[in-house]
Amino acid sequence: MWSIATIGPGRPRAEVCETHTAVLFFAGDRVYKLKKPVDLGFLNWTTVPARREACEREVELNRRFSPDVYLGLGELREPGSREPEPIVVMRRMPVERRLARLVREGADVDDVLRSVARQLAAWHARAPRGPEVDEQGTRDALASRWEDSFRQVRELAGDDGLPEVERLVRRYLTGRRPLFDARIEQGRVVDGHGDLLAEDVFCLDDGPRLLDCLEFDDRLRHVDGLDDAAFLAMDLEQLGAPDAAAYFLARYGEFSGDPAPSSLRHHYVAYRAFVRAKVSLIQARQGAPDAEAAFRRLVSTTLRHLRTAAVGLTLVGGLPGSGKSTLAGALADRLGVTLLSSDRLRKELAGIPADRSAAAGYGEGIYTPEWTAKTYAVLLDRATALLSAGESVVLDATWSDAAQREAAHRVAERAHADLVALRCHAPDGVAAARLDARTPGPSDADTSVAAAMRATAAPWPEAVPVDTGGALGAAVEQAMAAVRPWGTARAPVFRRPYMEPG
């Protein structure tokens, strides 16, 4: 909430801004920040000593990012008062250079976002680390923060909460402990900013200034660096700039050398959106206008990213000539996920180049039942490792054996991943023409092998049939409808650093 008063003709204006935790007074080239005497559960500033400690911490911590902005600690004293009220004294920033304002005005902010990403990554590279910091980066610590937010939202909203959000969060976290353990081993958990919003980034000629880091609870500032960056990405998206959000995270990944899977990026953006939704709900209960609508919008953002973050195992099967490998490759590209092929893996295990023929009769050579069982076992082992690391996987194989399909189902269950099965089919004449025109490559099957496999293939009623007899694009759209049944309301694409232009 803002209050504005003109000091006099041609003179700077005095302004007052109120948040859910503080009141800020703008006068001349200074800002004076007063902490509210509130107890919100996650912070308690009901005493002067508590507010003084919070002010001191705010100055100390924010000087890490913008030392020339945070000038020090001041005091307000009323006549006859025993204890002065502590305030944070800051250099006033030009409002026209606020990142949020530039985004709303449609300005080109790519250079600014690149500078912010570089500055944030540079801080993360030298930020404090250690057992206490690492503890907050564990899977269980993140789960605990989610659960705390769920409880607080239930209490504030007075209902049963948001069941789909809770279900998707718990499913993702339950199957991803190895991912979070690896992040800690890689040194990705740091003492970061904790509250990076576009309103608090000022784009000055000599570089950006990042203000207002989280000071009231060190544990909430001890985060994965990607989690730290995800807050600004979430905020940019709320400002109507999803492309800027994706660009910023890509640049952060580039400067930090972070190989994080896309699912983790989306999960952290969802987490940050939900934290902000909780704050909006608090503001709504304090009477802030439009806060209720902001809460609903942020919950929608949370859901969109959680759905996109869901880790999936997609089986793309069918007889030789059905177009399964072509569809699997196109689908993996469309989803931006890992593709594993049984044909390629079989030859890898046999020490044969993928483009060299190993043609043999049905059930012979490297196509005996033993070789097939070994190939599928290794295929599923690799899928298991990827799924636990947050990587969704498309598995290209015939999947003609029910036991192999059941094994894949168990892998998905253990990894708490969504399983989708697609069965490719094409008219007999189309399939035969494809086999006749096939050049040496990963698959060695010909029309005789295809006929033998057709005679022994087990029914696959649970698979979604995909007609591959026509245009590839049409088949991909059929597959996408099965893999992502919630449709086109997708979150921005956050690609890995090496997939982005330099």
Return the CATH number at 46: 3.30.200
**Pair (481, 336) in one structural domain:** yes
Structural domain count of the chain = 3
pLDDT at 8: 42
**Pair (382, 433) in one structural domain:** yes
Q: Is residue 393 part of a domain?
A: yes
pLDDT at 494 over 70: no
Cβ contacts of 312 within 8 Å, gap of 6 or more: 337, 392, 393, 417, 418, 419, 420, 483
Q: Of 363 and 205, which is predicted with more confidence?
A: 205
**Pair (117, 232) in one structural domain:** yes
Q: Of 309, 330, 349, which residue is a domain's last?
A: 309
CATH, residue 420: 3.40.50.300
**Pair (33, 101) in one structural domain:** no
Interatomic CA distance for residues 334 and 342, integer angstroms: 20
pLDDT at 43: 86
Average pLDDT for residues 484-496, to the nearest whole number?
59
Q: Which structural domain, as residue segments, surrounds residue 258?
A: 95-309
**Pair (230, 264) in one structural domain:** yes
Beta strands in 138-200 (DSSP E): 189-191
Average pLDDT for residues 334-358, to the nearest whole number?
94
Q: Is residue 244 part of a domain?
A: yes
pLDDT in tens, 203-233: 999 999 999 999 888 998 999 999 999 999 9
Q: Of 41, 70, 91, which residue is a domain's last?
A: 91
At 402, list the tokens: 């029910």
Residue type at position 75: E
pLDDT at 492: 60
pLDDT in tens, 267-320: 999 999 999 999 899 889 888 899 999 999 999 999 999 999 999 999 999 999
What DSSP state is assigned to residue 499? G
Residue type at position 154: R
- Mean pLDDT value across the chain: 91
pLDDT at 498: 35
Q: Is residue 259 part of a domain?
A: yes
What are the residues facing 341 on neighbouring strands?
396
pLDDT at 487: 60
Q: How confident is the model at residue 456 (pLDDT cuts 50, 70, 90)?
A: confident
Q: Between β-strands 207-210 and 464-467, what pairing exists: parallel, antiparallel or unpaired?
A: unpaired
**Pair (363, 435) in one structural domain:** yes
Interatomic CA distance for residues 162 and 182, integer angstroms: 30
Average pLDDT for residues 426-445, to the nearest whole number?
89
Q: Is residue 225 part of a domain?
A: yes
Alpha helices by DSSP H, 225-336? 225-238, 242-256, 262-285, 291-309, 324-335
Q: Is residue 500 part of a domain?
A: no
pLDDT at 4: 35
Q: What's the length of the chain? A: 502
pLDDT at 145 over 70: yes
pLDDT at 495 over 80: no
Question: How many of the other CB atoms lie within 10 Å of CB of 107?
Answer: 12
Q: Of 346 and 20, which is predicted with more confidence?
A: 346
Least confident stretch, 34-38, 366-370, 485-489? 485-489
The closest of 494, 312, 485 to 392, measured between CA atoms, is: 312
CATH, residue 221: 3.90.1200.10
Sign of CA dihedral 114, 119, 120, 124: positive
pLDDT at 361: 86
At 329, list the tokens: 């490759």
**Pair (283, 423) in one structural domain:** no
Q: Is residue 30 part of a domain?
A: yes
**Pair (189, 270) in one structural domain:** yes
Q: Is residue 190 part of a domain?
A: yes
What's the Cα-to-Cα distance from 293 to each of 17, 156, 297, rounded to whole Å? 20, 15, 6
Helices (H) and strands (E) in the chain, counts: 19, 15
Q: Is residue 150 part of a domain?
A: yes
**Pair (249, 288) in one structural domain:** yes
pLDDT at 5: 38
What's the Cα-to-Cα distance from 86 to each of 1, 80, 215, 350, 358, rounded to whole Å? 22, 16, 15, 73, 79
Beta strands in 136-226 (DSSP E): 189-191, 201-204, 207-210, 222-224
pLDDT in tens, 385-403: 999 999 999 999 999 999 9
What's the Cα-to-Cα distance from 109 to each of 100, 208, 423, rounded to whole Å? 10, 11, 45
The closest of 254, 245, 255, 256 to 198, measured between CA atoms, is: 245
**Pair (42, 169) in one structural domain:** no
pLDDT at 6: 36
**Pair (382, 415) in one structural domain:** yes
**Pair (60, 157) in one structural domain:** no
At 354, list the tokens: 């993928």
pLDDT at 12: 56
Q: Of 309, 336, 360, which residue is a domain's last?
A: 309
